[in-house]
Amino acid sequence: MNRAVRPRRTRATAALRGLVAEHRVAPQQLILPVFVREGATAPIPITSMPGVVQHTLDSVRQTATAAAAAGLGGIMLFGLPEHKDATGSAALDPAGILPRAVTAISSEVGDALPVMTDVCLDEFTDHGHCGVLTESGAIDNDRTVEIYAQMAVLHAEAGARVVGPSGMMDGQVAAIRDALETSGHAETVILAYAAKYASAFYGPFREAVDSSLQGDRKTYQQDPANIRESLREIALDEAEGADIIMVKPALGYLDVIRAARETTDLPIAAYNVSGEYAMLEAAAANGWIERERAIAETLTSIRRAGADMILTYWALEYAG
pLDDT of residue 280: 98
DSSP assignment string, the chain: --TT--GGGGGSSHHHHHHH-S----GGGEEEEEEEETT-SS-EE-TTSTT-EEEPHHHHHHHHHHHHHTT-SEEEEEEE-S--BTT-GGGG-TTSHHHHHHHHHHHHHGGGS-EEEEE-STTTBTT--SS-B-TTS-B-HHHHHHHHHHHHHHHHHHT-SEEEE-S--TTHHHHHHHHHHHTT-TT-EEEEEEEEB--GGGHHHHHHTT----S--TTTSBPTT-SHHHHHHHHHHHHHT-SEEEEESSGGGHHHHHHHHHH--S-EEEEE-HHHHHHHHHHHHTTSS-HHHHHHHHHHHHHHHT-SEEEETTHHHHH-
Which of 180, 248, 273, 281 is labelled catalytic? 248
What's the confidence (pLDDT) of residue 290? 98
Catalytic residue from among 196, 259, 270, 309: 196
CA–CA gap between residue 73 and residue 5 (Å, rounded): 40
Q: Please report, for the chain, the start and end positions of each structural domain, with discontinuous segments joined by +.
A: 24-319
What top-level class would CATH report for the domain 24-319?
Answer: alpha beta
Residue 303: Cβ within 10 Å count: 19
Distance CA 204, CA 48 (A): 6
Q: What is the pLDDT of residue 15?
A: 92
Q: Active site includes 218?
A: no
Residue 84 a catalytic site member: no
Per-residue pLDDT of the chain (320 residues; tens, 9 = 90+): 677 888 888 999 999 999 999 899 999 999 999 999 999 999 999 999 999 999 999 999 999 999 999 999 999 999 999 999 999 999 999 999 999 999 999 999 999 999 999 999 999 999 989 899 998 989 999 999 999 999 999 999 999 999 999 999 999 999 999 999 999 999 999 999 999 999 999 988 888 887 877 778 888 899 999 999 999 999 999 999 999 999 999 999 999 999 999 999 999 999 999 999 999 999 999 999 999 999 999 999 999 999 999 999 999 999 98
Give the pLDDT confidence score for residue 212 in this predicted structure.
77
